[in-house]
């Protein structure tokens, strides 16, 4: 437990400590609430799942794998990625191959024609920009410049760009996938009506940068195991004391959310 930290309670009350003594602008109650909620979320999830560490992943593989993961299951996207890499161990061969050959390799992942086209175009643009099949030039860029380049590629939206930036290069950015989006709204970390891009902006503003990777991966784990889209297992959830969704559920006469 994160017992050394002050707590927020399900009714929204706070164990407050005096603020403003350092000359910093005082935070509003809502900002204090969010800060403490984030802190507890990170701590409780790391207790439950451990603190994930960055691995050594090839940024091009990340880019291709993330495009392949769109609109399909993890199992099928991993199969598609594995078959693609078996068929084309060198991405330059993928550019030289016919579109049909690429489609054939990734068919198991669904939307194969669209994804094959996007992967070829994205890799082609990277090769044209870098003069080689390598994203290493992003290391020389500022964060927003890198994000602009990546999102200019076909099939690369804010989530895919953030995945490549965080896991491939250690840029401080917070990818928001379907699990992170759902859980961050249920927990009350971002407004319930926020879109995905706003959710990313809000999370990047409130999560300590050194915890982006840990919180991202642990929210995904938690979303798969406990906080599922349908019928979340709130009674088993270590976050239940700080979760707005569960608080609303407990206060609703029917015990059901709209
Ligand atoms: S208490 Fe329920 S809704 Fe809230 S994070 Fe846990 S499983 Fe999800």
Q: How far is ligand 1, taken at its centre, from the CA of residue 45, in Å?
A: 12
16 in any annotated domain:
no
What pLDDT does 56 receive?
73
- Give the distance, in angstroms, between the CA of residue 141 and the centroid of all CA atoms in the same chain: 21
Q: Residue written as tokens 């491939």?
A: 168
According to the model, what pLDDT value does residue 4 have? Answer: 33
Check residue 24 and give its pLDDT. 59
- Its domain, for residue 105, covers 59-169
**From atom 8 of ligand 1, which residue's Cα is the shortest distance away?**
227
> Does 118 sit in the ligand 1 pocket, CB within 6 Å?
no
Q: Tell me, yes or no, whether 214 lies in a domain.
A: no
Catalytic residue, chosen from 27, 115, 143, 159, is 159
Distance CA 232, CA 251 (A): 17
Q: Position of tokens 């050194």?
A: 210
Contact 149 CB / ligand 1 (< 6 Å)? no
- Give the global pTM: 0.79
Structure tokens at 12: 């929204």
Q: What are phi and psi of 188, to 5 degrees?
A: 85, 15
Give the atom of ligand 1 at the shortest distance from the alpha carbon of 237. 6
11 is a domain residue: no
User: How far are the Cα atoms of 60, 147, 191, 256 from residue 150, in angstroms, in the given order?
Assistant: 11, 5, 27, 41
Residue 125 sits in a domain whose CATH number is 1.10.340.30
Q: Which of 118, 161, 123 is nearest to 141 (CA)?
A: 161
Q: How far is the CA of 99 from the centre of ligand 1 (A)?
A: 44
Ligand 1 centroid – CA 11 distance (Å): 15
Judge whether 159 counts as a catalytic residue: yes
Number of domains into which the chain is organized? 1
How is 55-117 classified by DSSP, letter by letter? ----HHHHHHHHHHTTTS-HHHHHHHHHHHHHH-SSHHHHHHS-HHHHHHHHGGGS-HHHHHH
Return the pLDDT at 255. Answer: 59
Q: What was the pLDDT predicted at 257?
A: 57
234 alpha carbon to ligand 1 midpoint, in Å? 5
Per-residue pLDDT of the chain (258 residues; tens, 9 = 90+): 333 333 333 333 333 444 444 555 666 666 777 878 899 999 999 999 999 877 778 999 999 999 999 888 889 999 999 999 999 999 999 999 999 999 999 999 999 999 999 999 999 999 999 999 999 999 999 999 999 999 999 989 989 999 999 999 999 999 999 999 999 999 999 999 999 999 999 999 999 999 999 999 999 999 999 999 999 999 999 999 999 999 988 887 765 654
Q: Is residue 155 part of a domain?
A: yes
pLDDT at 72: 87
Residue 99, domain member (yes or no): yes
Ligand 1 nearest atom to the CA of residue 232, by list position? 7
**Residue 9's pLDDT is what?**
33
């Amino acid at each position: 437990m994160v017992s050394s930290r002050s707590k927020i309670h399900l009714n929204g009350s706070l164990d407050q400590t005096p603020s403003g003594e350092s000359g910093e602008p005082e935070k509003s109650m809502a900002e204090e609430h969010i800060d403490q909620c984030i802190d507890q979320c990170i701590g409780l999830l790391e207790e439950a799942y451990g603190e994930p560490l960055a691995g050594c992943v090839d940024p091009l593989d990340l880019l291709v794998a993330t495009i392949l993961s769109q609109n399909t299951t993890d199992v099928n996207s991993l199969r598609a990625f594995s078959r693609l890499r078996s068929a084309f161990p060198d991405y330059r061969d993928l550019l030289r191959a016919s579109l049909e050959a690429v489609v054939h390799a990734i068919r198991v992942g669904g939307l194969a024609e669209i994804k094959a086209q996007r992967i070829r175009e994205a890799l082609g643009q990277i090769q044209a920009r870098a003069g080689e099949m390598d994203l290493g030039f992003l290391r020389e860029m500022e964060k927003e410049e890198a994000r602009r380049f990546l999102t200019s590629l076909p099939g690369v939206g804010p989530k895919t760009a953030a995945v490549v930036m965080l896991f491939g290069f250690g840029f401080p950015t917070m990818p928001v996938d379907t699990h992170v989006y759902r859980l961050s709204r249920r927990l009350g970390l971002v407004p319930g009506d926020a879109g995905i891009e706003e959710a990313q902006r809000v999370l990047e503003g409130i999560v300590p940068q050194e915890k982006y990777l840990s919180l991202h991966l642990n929210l995904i784990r938690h979303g798969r195991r406990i906080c599922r889209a349908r019928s979340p297992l709130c009674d088993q959830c270590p976050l239940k004391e700080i979760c707005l969704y569960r608080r609303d559920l407990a206060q609703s006469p029917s015990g059901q959310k709209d």
